[in-house]
Amino acid sequence: MKILLAVDGSECSDMAVREVCERPWPAGSAVKVISIAESPLLSTETWPFPADYYSAIEKSGQDQAHAAIDKAVTQLRSSHGGALEVATRITEGHVQGAILDEADAWDADLIVLGSHGYRGIKRFLLGSVSHAVASHANCSVEIVR
């Protein structure tokens, strides 16, 4: 079984990792842990930003993605040892699209991700990654809260 585990370092993401760690998976199962470093939005501000502003934001996103993946891999290896084949990937782009693209490219059987549980205006403004993934995935999706 191929399990795509999307992490972002949040408490919701940690719950998704715990869920994968606690489950007995069939022999030969593989987990690919991915994290998406979103590209900084281009600003329409008239005030100029310092020259290193965007590179600092990109580095911060990459650092956060590395930390989230490292934490998840440590938990997976301590709970399953060598029973699960674990791979990682950090990618850039729009979160929903990157998760769906990676699941399709890897031919995942299951996508596991956390949900922040946003409601009302917050959900409208921020969107719901888990809802978009569940609505458009070509495989099973487990959303953990």
pLDDT in tens, 69-125: 999 999 999 998 888 999 999 998 888 999 999 999 999 999 999 987 655 554 444
* Residue 27: HSE in the Cβ half-sphere, 13 Å Cα cutoff: 0
Euclidean distance between CA atoms 140 and 137, whole angstroms = 7
Per the DSSP assignment, residues forming a β-bridge with 32 are 4, 87
Count CB neighbours of 125 within 10 A: 8
Tally of structural domains, the chain: 1
Instruction: Report the range of poorest mean pLDDT among 8-17, 31-40, 64-73, 117-126.
Output: 117-126
Q: Which domain holds residue 100?
A: 2-144
Distance of CA 141 to the CA centre of its chain: 13
pLDDT in tens, 44-78: 556 677 778 778 888 888 999 999 999 999 999 99
Q: What is the CATH number of the domain that holds 21?
A: 3.40.50.620
Query: Is the Cβ–Cβ distance between 29 and 85 less than 8 Å?
Result: yes
